[in-house]
Chain A
Amino acid sequence: MNTSSPMTLVDRWSESLRAAGPLPGPGWLQRLRERAVSEFSESGLPNRKTESWKYTPVRAFEKLEPPAFGSDRGVQAVVRPQALLDADCTMVDIANGVLAAPLPEAPNGVSILALAEGMQRYEIQLKRLIEKVDLEGSSNAFAALNTACLEQGLVVHVSENVHAGALLMRWASSAGGASQFQSFRVFLLLEAGAQLDFLEQYQSEETAEKGLNVIIQAELGHGAALGHIRVQSEPESMTLLTSTSIGQTADSRYSYRGFDLGGGMVRHEFEAELNGPRAFADFSGAFVLDNKRHVDNHVSVDHASPDCRSEQFFRGVLGGRSRGVFNGRALIRTGADGSSVRQSNANLLLSELAEMDTKPELEIYADEVEASHGATVGRLDEDAVFYLRTRGLGDDQARRMLTSAFCRAVTERIEDRALAAKVAEMVDSAMPGGLPGNSAGPKAES
């Protein structure tokens, strides 16, 4: 039972934001935070009539406390997950929405800074990025909220032509404590020719209701390359919102490989602006859901320059009473000739009560383009099941094998073979019921 209506929730949260008083940072940021609070309290939370939130109810937020501030949030109690990569990689931990100190030593030509320090060094760039976030309307309520409590953040800068290697961010929340709604912001600044592999791992112990509202803003210089891998296996009590926006210039490349294997209410928003010729953005994701989990992927790519390419490739496996949402949008502006867009979303429904809502949109204002999209929702091909059974596999085994193969199409897009195999194993063990013969994924460190 909900004791509070969304309206009172908005009032309550706005009030607590106002009561928090001025947060550290320059004057312009303080003014922007105040504006964000009033935008939030004015527009309120999105509802079913908000087009971009049509399929994703925001009921989960009613269980959460207002956004938290300060670094005193029971950080010590957080159990960090076993790292996806070898322990010697550059690693940053976020516990209960707080950046853990000390930050790792950065390789040459790379800066990894907390927001306050980053603000001193890159204020002009950060100001431009922070001001760019749309705060208006209920569809942007969570962006406004994130801006309103912009205090915890990470700034990563990679200098010209530097290959930074891998940076792993581990997100975790404590099992106990208040059901806070935490905000965090990440800035990734890649100069011309710079390269970075940015990995995110979301994994907490079975927790009380928790919420995390993350905004990632990346700027890619000429010819820069950002590889982004996200593996999310949060407990069902976690409400996770992420919003990733990438500003791309000529010849830059962005690739996303996302795996949602857990979480209660999860929504990922992506926005790529292809502002220079030959830029390339590639979004690939897989989600494996059971119980009452909800995963929503909202991808929007803006082709503003000629000869750019983009791809959206998402696969979903839905069991239990889960619900999956995919909304892919590609906009090709006038003059963006030579653009190429491919969208594909395929989904397997494994249970009577699962639901998938998909909407691959194309908006095209240039004529020299190639755009295609496809979406399917269905079950496993019975002929394929039959084929495997004639080879001596049991029905269950055959189905699991085919379902696993269905998701391999995404894990295989991870370039690092060892990591690809590890993620594939995690995907398999997340399958509703689990796949036999597979050990569970990374376990928690004690």
Chain B
Amino acid sequence: MSNEQASKESPSVDHFVQQKYRHGFVTDIESETVPPGLNEDVVRWISARKKEPEWLLEWRLDAYRRWLDLTSPNWAHLKIEPIDFQAISYFSAPKSDKDRPQSLDDVDPKLLETYDKLGVPLHERARLAGVAVDAVFDSVSVGTTFREELKKAGVIFCSFSEAVHDYPELVRKYLGTVVPTRDNFFAALNSAVFSDGSFVFIPKGVRCPMELSTYFRINAAETGQFERTLIIAEDSSYVSYLEGCTAPMRDENQLHAAVVELVALEDAEIKYSTVQNWYPGDENGVGGIYNFVTKRGDCRGDRAKISWTQVETGSAITWKYPSCILRGEYSVGEFYSVALTNNYQQADTGTKMIHIGRNTRSKIISKGISAGHGQNAYRGLVRIAKKAENSRNFTQCDSMLIGKGCGAHTFPYIEVGNPTAKVEHEATTSRIGEDQLFYCLQRGIAEEDAVSMIVDGFCKQVFRELPMEFAVEAKALLEVSLEGAVG
């Protein structure tokens, strides 16, 4: 696991590791970008630039070649203008401080207004709005303090690039084993050009002493559009990981294609919570982030548990299906989701629960809210393999419609190949309750407040699963996202 071990195995790795320390690794990234377009040279350039070992370059190239054979998926219930993948620049170094807003006065007042509504603390606003780092209150030291404590517990939590250099054998062992490079078009693209991301390793028997969040990781805000996350929980370990944050993030990239891989070994538990609030485009559907994410967890060991919780309110396009492969006996998969589409946002999101091991259990709770001209689709797969005896799935996916122009769609795939399994799926779609609204109005509650109260109640089952700090903010976030949907 150490660098010495790795260097004994491969002299080229040693070479790169040496380089990394000489340059200090994090620095020397002053604005360098590759010209738009993607070819093998670009992939080589990115890898060289990140001083990656040979095997990783080969892995990226292999992914690139597979990507060439794949086509952009068109089965989702999304209307997307064709994306010109040759018009995108696949590597842009983080902006230097002089390109950023120098203080909050330079930041778009609309953004600041939103922070106000969400109750974002003053000192965090600057960081979120991308104000130059040295102007931001103490964020670096906060991060460092946490890292110290994690280190004591034996938890590895670092950027993906750091992990490639410091723990190459761990990365090599697990990378691409949950989401193979050929998995799908966007996963292959990510594998070829991924910029950075997070790496988490929880050793055997360790309960991670705190909730891990990209929020506390230095440089996390600049991981770029092709993020790669790998979380490994060894036997009997536990980790709760928070991704994203409720406040809208300033982001220059329109296309995001992230890959998240989770590996849970025997008796391990991973809880992965996401709040996604990227720029959704304006009221007329202009602009906004395209979010194509491949997230998958593998319950490799017996009694492993992976739980996905997501609150998706941002992005113009959301294409995301956090999944669980329930391989170990008695392993458990969970998916709790709130997806909200307003204005012209489109979401096609859901989950896949693949039951392979015996006595595996899964639970899916999905709440879709459509307002304005939003289109919201739940797409899910529950597969019970022939050998998955006594497996159990319960799925509930409810949709709420607010307004005339929106749409709510449900596409559940259920494949059952074992008679001892029990699979239940139920779903409802309806308008926001007239009676409930009327009752609230009668009690003197304003219409907008009444709607947010009803929506909050509708989502309660999912919010309950969020870590405390997210749960409080999620409610405020829905309120802000629903603004203008009523009346």
Contact = CB atoms under 8 A, between A and B. Distances in A.
B430 A369 contact: yes
Contacts of A368: 431
A370 B421 CA distance: 30
Contacts of A131: none
Contacts of A372: 426-429
B411 interface: yes
A371 interface: yes
A379 B422 CA distance: 7
Interface in A320-374: 334, 347, 349-374
A84 interface: no
Interface in B408-433: 408-431
A375 B415 contact: no
B407 interface: yes
B244 to A, nearest CB: 28
Nearest to B429: A371
Given A358-B414, A359-B411, A374 B426 contact: yes
Given A361-B409, A375-B425, A369 B419 contact: no
Given A369-B431, A372-B429, A363 B407 contact: yes
A376 interface: yes
A364 B404 contact: no
B231 interface: no
A377 interface: yes
A366 B375 CA distance: 11
B414 A351 contact: no
A365 B407 contact: yes
A122 B60 CA distance: 65
B431 A355 contact: no
B402 interface: yes
Contacts of A351: 419
A362 B410 contact: yes
B407 A355 contact: no
A320 B399 CA distance: 37
A369 B429 contact: yes
B437 interface: no
Contacts of A27: none
Contacts of A369: 401, 429-431
Given A349-B419, A350-B419, A367-B402, A359 B414 contact: yes
A445 interface: no
Contacts of B401: 364, 366-367, 369
Contact of B418 (A51, A349, A370): A349
B407 A377 contact: no
Contact of B399 (A347, A359, A361, A364): A364
Contact of A364 (B409, B418, B423): B409
A53 to B, nearest CB: 14
Contacts of A347: 416
Interface string B19-58: 0000000000000000000000000000000000000000
B404 A51 contact: no
Contacts, number: 111
Given A378-B421, A379-B420, A363 B412 contact: no
Nearest to A326: B414
Nearest to A55: B415
Interface residues of B, number: 36
Contacts of A373: 410, 425-427
Contacts of B404: 334, 366-367
Nearest to A346: B424
A354 B409 contact: no
B139 to A, nearest CB: 44
A370 B405 CA distance: 16
A350 B421 CA distance: 11
A377 B431 contact: no
Contacts of B399: 362, 364
A122 B399 CA distance: 45
Contacts of B420: 379
Most buried by A among B75, B415, B422, B428: B415
B200 interface: no
B412 A355 contact: no
B462 interface: no
Nearest to A368: B431
A430 B280 CA distance: 55
Contacts of B410: 360-362, 373
Contact of B430 (A55, A356, A370): A370
Contact of B409 (A51, A363, A378): A363
Contacts of A361: 409-412
Nearest to A357: B415
Most buried by A among B401, B428, B429: B429
Nearest to A365: B407
A431 to B, nearest CB: 15
Contact of A375 (B77, B412, B417, B430): B412
Nearest to B396: A374
Given A364-B399, A378-B421, A355 B428 contact: no
Interface string A58-86: 00000000000000000000000000000
A354 B75 CA distance: 28
A362 B430 CA distance: 12
Contact of B413 (A349, A359, A366): A359
Given A363-B407, A374-B427, A352 B414 contact: no
Interface in A23-58: 51, 55
Most buried by A among B414, B418, B426: B414
Contact of A357 (B408, B414, B418, B428): B414
Interface in A237-260: none
A332 to B, nearest CB: 9
A364 B77 CA distance: 12
A367 B401 CA distance: 5
B407 to A, nearest CB: 4
B406 interface: yes
Given A361-B409, A361-B410, A371-B429, A51 B75 contact: yes
A151 B244 CA distance: 63
Interface string B71-92: 0000101000000000000000
Given A358-B416, A375-B423, 13 more contacts: A349-B416, A352-B419, A353-B386, A356-B416, A357-B414, A361-B410, A361-B412, A362-B427, A366-B401, A369-B431, A374-B424, A376-B423, A378-B421
29 contacts: A55-B415, A347-B416, A349-B419, A349-B421, A352-B419, A355-B416, A355-B417, A356-B416, A357-B415, A357-B416, A360-B410, A360-B412, A361-B409, A362-B409, A363-B407, A367-B402, A367-B406, A367-B431, A370-B429, A371-B428, A371-B429, A372-B426, A374-B424, A374-B426, A375-B412, A375-B424, A376-B425, A377-B423, A378-B422
Interface of A: 51, 55, 334, 347, 349-379
In the A-B complex, the 10 residue pairs with the closest CB atoms:
A349-B419, A367-B401, A377-B416, A378-B422, A371-B429, A375-B425, A362-B410, A355-B417, A377-B423, A365-B407
Interface of B: 75, 77, 384, 386, 399, 401-431
